[in-house]
Amino acid sequence: MNNMSDREAVAMALENPIFFGHIVDRYQDKLARYIHRLGVRNPDDRDDVLQEIFVKVYRNLNGFDETLSFSAWIYRIAHNEAISWYRKRRVRPEGNLVQDGESLLEALASDVTDTEVSFDQGLNADEVSKALQEVPEKYRDVLILRFYEQLSYEEIADVLKLPVGTVGTYVHRGKSALKDNLDTNKLHL
Amino acid sequence: MSEHEHNNNAKPRDLRAMIVERIETENIKPHSWWYWLVLDSAVWTLWVVSVLLGALAVSVVLFASVHMSFELYEATHPSSYEFMMETLPFLWLFVLAVMFLAGYYNLRHTKHGYRYSLPLVIASSIGASIALGFLFHALNIGYYVDTFLGRHMPMYESQEHMAGRSWQRPTAGRLMGHFIETDENTEGYVWFKDMDGGEWMVTLGELAPRELKLLSSGDDVRVIGFMATDTPNMLHGCGVFPWLFDKPPVLSELREQREMFIERMQEMDRPLGERIKEEFRELGQAHDELLEHWCDHMPMPAR
């Protein structure tokens, strides 16, 4: 079962909902991390949101666009569900991503697609995650998908429904904003 | 590990079992393939509709632009600016702008619309409307739409009606209508029925042979002249031009009209002095004395 492709899993889930559990197993950890990064921090809320995401995925299985990767498609649903959850709460919570700051810093430093914005390796994870929270939301969403979720530009474009060129621009601007925030925060220390 | 980190890393409860159970107990079914097809088709249909309506708007704008009686604007308006302000099809320009936006929005919201680049979206939505609009215009669809709406929707003013309103102003020396009959007892004028049903004696002394021929054809025509001060319902005719709204417009005819108008003015060899022109504008084309000089001082059209 583990060798089954996403498309095969979708086909089987459409035959029998029992097999949908395989898709849940495959994506629940990734999506849990993703919606946590987007701001759904409380574990109970996170489970509720995850459940809604998977129910929506199941309802929309026939609408899965096979020209997309299944991963991009399911991230799109997760993203929209998380946004809708914020809207119900009327606020997108600001929290810290300390435990993720280090991995973000590594990912940013190893990004070879944009050499114009470089990051000081001496930064600590706390500084990075704090600066990330101050990046405008549209850039932050792209940075999270790119550097935490390791999605390609094309996949990010499919998740956020943006042209690929816009994703590239947002990544660059997001990194610049992140670097500016880091520099500003350093001055205030 | 802090409690916060522990919570963040905690594995969700047995989500798989919960979801499968929920699907079964609530009898949740995936939306059918047809549902998605209809949804996708609806967005594309809306896009096609907005492109088609945009094309119709383009064709009416083109028709109106070509057929706004620009060829004789000096005879009906004090300036080209006022002429444009009164005759430009603002309603259709508004419809056009709305349809451009709707086309853009719908294309962006098709299944893969977000992937298309801005130039492609603009070229395919706005460009398609413009290209199709030119085609519609070539097929005279703009004329038919405008005329149809004008005749069937009371609140819609077609170009035909607008031009009629502009030309049916006897006090300003303009009439729109057709020749009825000659009077055997009198020479030098004919009976003319305007678009409002009023009957006029139109004098013929100043008219060129081709204008007399045009007038006597009985077709709808536009007459420029001035009202006689001593006889009611008498107009001294200075020029006769065909009424072009009884058939789809032909650009060459309009050019010919303008050439004829210019030629007519030159034949009269009475260029307008700037002073008269100013006074004429200030008095709003209604002053009797100036109207009497209308033929003498008719504005010379710019070449």
pLDDT band at A61 (very low <50, low <70, confident <90, very high): very high
Q: What pLDDT is recorded for position A118?
A: 59
CB-defined contacts A:B, below 8 A: 84
Q: Do B31 and A99 touch (CB under 8 A)?
A: no
**What is the per-residue pLDDT across A1-19, written as a single tens digit (0 to 9) for each?**
567 788 888 888 888 888 8
In CATH terms, the fold of domain A98-188 is Arc Repressor Mutant, subunit A (1.10.10)
Contact check, Cβ <8 Å, A62/B35: yes
Closest CB to B30: pick one of A28, A41, A62. Answer: A62
Helices in chain A by DSSP H: which ranges? Answer: 6-15, 20-38, 43-59, 70-89, 98-109, 125-133, 137-143, 153-160, 164-188
CB pair distance less than 8 Å for A164 and B115: yes
| Domain-terminating residue out of B92, B127, B160 | B160
Identity at B281, one-letter amino acid code: R
The token duo for B295 is 């033929």
The answer to whether residue B79 is domain-embedded is yes
Backbone phi, psi, residue B169, to 5°: -135, 80
- Chain A residues with CB under 8 Å of B117 CB are 163, 165
Q: Give the burial string for B246-276 (b: 16+ CB within 10 Å, else e).
A: eebbeeeebeebbebbbebbeebeeeeeeee
User: Which single residue is written with the structure tokens 């002249």?
Assistant: B225
Q: Is residue B267 part of a domain?
A: yes
Both B175 and B247 in one domain: the answer is yes
As given in the structure block, the two tokens for residue A9 are 């899993």
Regarding whether B243 and B155 lie in a shared domain, the answer is: no
* Overall average pLDDT of the A173-184 stretch: 86
User: Smallest Cβ distance to A28: which of B8, B15, B115?
Assistant: B15
Look at B111 and A65 and tell me if their CB atoms are within 8 Å: yes
Nearest-angstrom CA–CA distance, A46 and A23: 18
Say if B5 falls within a structural domain. no
The answer to whether residue B10 neighbours chain A at the CB level (below 8 Å) is yes
- Give the whole-angstrom CA distance, residue A167 versus residue A17: 35
Closest by Cβ to B20, choosing from A20, A36, A61: A20
Q: Which amino acid is at B62?
A: L
Q: Taking all residues of chain A, what is their mean pLDDT, rounded to a whole number?
A: 81
Of B9, B30, B114, the CB nearest to A61: B30
pLDDT at residue B64 in the model: 82
Are B58 and B116 found together in one domain?
A: yes
Measured from the Cβ of residue B207, the count of other Cβ atoms closer than 10 Å reads 21
Looking at the fold, whether B150 and B173 belong to one and the same domain comes out as no
Residue range(s) defining the domain that contains residue B287: 168-292
Q: B16 vs A21: CB contact, 8 Å cut-off? A: yes
Residues 6+ apart with CB under 8 A from A70: A6, A7, A10, A64
Residue B104 CB partners (closer than 8 Å, separation 6+): B121, B122, B125, B126
List per-block mean pLDDT (blocks of 10 residues) for chain B, which spans 303 residues.
Answer: 43 76 90 92 94 94 77 68 77 90 89 85 88 91 89 85 81 84 72 87 81 84 80 82 73 70 61 42 45 46 42
Question: Number of structural domains, chain B?
Answer: 2
Per the CB < 8 A criterion, the answer to whether B200 and B175 are in contact is yes
Give percent above pLDDT 90 in chain A.
29
Residue B104: HSE in the Cβ half-sphere, 13 Å Cα cutoff: 13
B114–A58 CB contact, under 8 Å: no
**In the structure encoding, which two tokens stand for residue A75, read together?**
């991230």
* A62 pLDDT tier (thresholds 50, 70, 90): very high
Res B138: pLDDT: 87
Class in CATH terms, A6-89: mainly alpha
Cα distance from B28 to chain A (closest Cα, Å)? 7
B285 and B173 within one domain = yes
Closest listed residue to residue A54, CA positions, set A73, A74, A34: A74
Task: Give A91's DSSP letter.
Answer: S
Flag if A51 and B111 touch (Cβ within 8 Å): no
Which member of A43, A50, A61 has the closest CB to residue B10?
A: A43
- A92-150 per-position pLDDT tens digit: 555 444 455 556 666 666 665 655 555 665 666 677 778 888 889 889 999 989 888 88
Q: Quick one: B144 and B172 in the same domain?
A: no
Residues in A touching B23 (Cβ below 8 Å): 17, 20, 55, 58
The alpha-carbon gap from A21 to the nearest alpha carbon of chain B, in Å, equals 5
Pick from A156, A159, A171, A182: which is nearest to A113 by CA? A171
The ipTM, to two decimals, is: 0.75
Tokens of A71: 């991963």
Nearest Cβ partner for B31 among A24, A43, A62: A62
One domain for residues B61 and B134: yes
Asked whether A124 and A101 are in contact (CB, 8 A), the reply is yes
CB contact under 8 A, B118 and A164: no
* B154/B41 same-domain check: yes
Q: Domain locations in chain A?
A: 6-89, 98-188
B16 inside domain: no
Residue B298 maps to a domain: no
If asked whether residues B126 and B230 sit together in one domain, one would say: no
B95/chain A closest Cα distance in angstroms: 28
Asked, for residue B12, whether it belongs to a domain, the answer is no
For B38, the closest chain A residue by CA position comes to A63
DSSP assignment string, chain B: --HHHHHHHPPPSSHHHHHHHHHHHTT--PPPHHHHHHHHHHHHHHHHHHHHHHHHHHHHHHHHHHTS-GGGHHHH-SSHHHHHHHHS-HHHHHHHHHHHHHHHHHHHTSTTGGGS-HHHHHHHHHHHHHHHHHHHHHTTHHHHHHHHHHHH-TT---HHHHHHHHH-BGGGTEEEEEEEEE-TT-SSEEEEEETTS-EEEEE-TT--HHHHHHHHT-S-EEEEEEE-SSSTTEEEEEEEEE--TTS---HHHHHHHHHHHHHHHHHHT-PPPHHHHHHHHHTTT--HHHHHTTTTTPPPPP-
Whether residue B168 contacts residue B194, with contact meaning beta carbons closer than 8 Å, is answered with: yes
CB of B116 within 8 Å of any CB in chain A?
yes
- B76 falls within a domain: yes
Instruction: Kindly state whether residue B127 falls inside one of the protein's structural domains.
Output: yes
Query: Chain A residues with CB inside 8 Å of B18's CB?
Result: 51
Q: Residue B225 burial (CB < 10 Å; 0-12/13-18/19+)?
A: buried
* Per-residue H/E/C for B182-225: ECCCCCCEEEEEECCCCEEEEECCCCCHHHHHHHHCCCCEEEEE
User: Which chain B residue's Cα is nearest to A17?
Assistant: B20
